[in-house]
Amino acid sequence: MNRTFTLATTTLALAALTACGGTPTTSAPPDGGTADASPALSVAAAFYPLEYATKRIGGDRVEVSSLTKPGAEPHDVELTPREVAGMTSADLVVYLKGFQPAIDDAVANTAAQAGFDVTDAARLTLAATDDGHDHGHSHGDDDHADDHADEDHADHDHAEDDHAHDHGEEGTDPHFWLDPTRYASVAEAIAERLAEADPAGADTYRSNAARLSDELTALDKEFSSGLATCPHRDLVTGHAAFGYLADRYDLHQVGIAGLSPEQEPTAAQIRDLVAHVRETGVKTVYAETLASPALAETVAREAGVTVEVLDPIEGLSDASAGADYFEIMRANLATLRDGLECSSP
């Protein structure tokens, strides 16, 4: 099962997000540290959700840099020699093993002692192929689809390791941050790792993580309430990034592409998906930020439905520049409620 959110354009400027060690304007400043104090730790975060959480938790005690530039597709990130060299001087490298192979390699080769993999805390329980394809079409590249076409159409429970070479540990869906409860677990783990590296700041890190966790709990309640009244439960998304969101809020994701936007479907799979949209009464197909809308537009055009844009929050885009995780998630919720024709809770 997968979930999709539509990103309504948001323009709130959050200067604190762009400053090292800054905290969002939606929250009180973190305890401990001062604006003019030298950071106790230097942290490299692999991509935006990890960067955001680390900044919120670390506050002024931690200088955070991102290994994925704004506007870049995190799945395809490649590191420059300078960026790899920078990892060697970091006190901590926060990453998700299996999501970005270039970062996995750099950690293994140059920063093994500093590496902190959040996989266990993220509770990656969804297999890469848990995409809810009750209509029977498969994902992946053409060769993969040809190899497994018969079993895809005969059995809706796809083999769990079909995409193990593409994402996550043992073929799991990596997009945990779209479930606020999983994101909170990762935030708590980051706080403990920071406390281990900087015992003097332990109380600060744990206090900031608790504050962030409270905000994520409130966000989770907003989604539960906001999506409870939707008559349509199918989310047709540009790629299968919304599984944890769908799983959390009882939605059914149908990804046009696989877990990576590069895992494009065959023409036959597109026809199958268009038929599914027509048969189930889906009103909206969701394209995504940081990925081409072409596939979503093709499916929507053939099925005679509309296209909206969701943000999987893998990284910041031009549309979301200046916004933070919470603003983007709430914009996604508004888009979902519109596309799923939800009534007022």
pLDDT, tens digit (0-9, with 9 covering 90-100), for 307-336: 999 999 999 888 787 899 999 999 999 999
Question: What value does the CA radius of gyration of the chain take, rounded to a whole number of Å?
Answer: 20
Q: Could you give the CA distance from residue 123 to residue 120 in angstroms, rounded to a whole number? A: 6
Summarize the confidence of residues 145-149 as an average pLDDT: 37
The pLDDT assigned to 172 comes to: 87
Q: What is the DSSP letter of 127?
A: B
pLDDT, tens digit (0-9, with 9 covering 90-100), for 252-274: 999 998 877 777 899 999 999 99
Q: What is the DSSP letter of 265?
A: P
pLDDT, tens digit (0-9, with 9 covering 90-100), for 187-231: 999 999 999 999 999 999 999 999 999 999 999 999 999 999 999
- Residue 203 C-alpha from the chain's centroid: 28
Measured from the Cβ of residue 76, the count of other Cβ atoms closer than 10 Å reads 14
The pLDDT assigned to 75 comes to: 86
Summarize the confidence of residues 68-85 as an average pLDDT: 90
Could you tell me the domains of the chain?
Answer: 15-118+173-221 (3.40.50.1980), 142-163+227-339 (3.40.50.1980)
Q: Mind giving me the DSSP string for 295-324?
A: HHHHHHHHHT-EEEEE---SS--TTTTT--
Upper half-sphere CA count for residue 338 (Cβ side, 13 Å):
17
The per-residue pLDDT of the chain, averaged, comes to 82
- Residue 190 C-alpha from the chain's centroid: 17
pLDDT at 122 over 50: yes
Summarize the confidence of residues 100-108 as an average pLDDT: 96
The pLDDT assigned to 129 comes to: 55
Summarize the confidence of residues 140-161 as an average pLDDT: 37
Q: Could you give the CA distance from residue 197 to residue 114 in angstroms, rounded to a whole number? A: 10
Q: Which of 12, 34, 8 is nearest to 21 (CA)?
A: 34
Give helix then strand counts, H and E, for the chain: 12, 8
Q: Which of 345, 49, 21 is nearest to 216 (CA)?
A: 49
The pLDDT assigned to 263 comes to: 75
Query: Exposed (0-12), middle (13-18) or buried (19+): which is 20, by Cβ within 10 Å?
Result: middle
pLDDT at 4 over 50: no
The pLDDT assigned to 332 comes to: 98
The label of the residue with tokens 């504050």 reads 211
Pairing of strands 252-257, 234-239: parallel
What's the one-letter identity of residue 135?
A: H
Q: Could you give the CA distance from residue 164 to residue 98 in angstroms, rounded to a whole number? A: 9
pLDDT, tens digit (0-9, with 9 covering 90-100), for 231-251: 999 999 998 899 999 999 999
Summarize the confidence of residues 68-86 as an average pLDDT: 90
Model confidence at 37, in pLDDT bands (50, 70, 90)? low
